[in-house]
Amino acid sequence: MVWLGVDLGDARVGLALSDPELTLAHPAGNVRVYGDSFQALDEVIDVIEDESVEHVVIGLPLMLDGTEGKSAKKARRWASNLTTRIQRLIDDGEIALDRVPRVTLLDERLTTVSAHRQLQEAQISGRKHRPIVDQQSAVVILQSALDGRG
């Protein structure tokens, strides 16, 4: 069993995968999206199929006061599109999955701050943060889901 964490961004969509025991999340790369995170759907579906992902955890960027803004609504649409697209590909026999993985949204407030802090603690210079902060944010999102699944 493997879980996938997704951090939706305007330039990149960060990905993280769990280990099969669902204890640790690790970076799984970025998908460049050039301002439209919906461009990443096909590549994310490829990862889901290749890694036999059973659960997708997508970061929900709530406002600091807990309300949903434009970004959170976009994340909900993205999650819905992912589910619909996978179901259609299964129905058409185009992908080798038995069923659509469970897709959940997880409050991701301050995950980018946490990801930057972790990268600093790993002594990765600030200049090098940008290309990897999205996948590190996905790691934080996924690890939170793994830790909270009791």
Give DSSP secondary structure letters for the chain: -EEEEEE--SSEEEEEEE-TTSS-EEEEEEEE-TT-GGGGHHHHHHHHHHHTEEEEEEEE---TTS---HHHHHHHHHHHHHHHHHHHHHHTT-S--SSPPEEEEEE-TTHHHHHHHHHHHTT--GGGHHHHHHHHHHHHHHHHHHHT--
pLDDT for res 126: 61
**Mean pLDDT, each 10-residue run in order, the chain (150 residues):** 93 95 96 88 96 96 87 95 96 92 88 64 62 82 90
Rounded to two decimals, the pTM is: 0.88
pLDDT for res 63: 82
pLDDT for res 110: 60
How far is it, in rounded angstroms, from Cα 118 to Cα 113? 9
Q: Domains along the chain?
A: 2-147 (3.30.420.140)
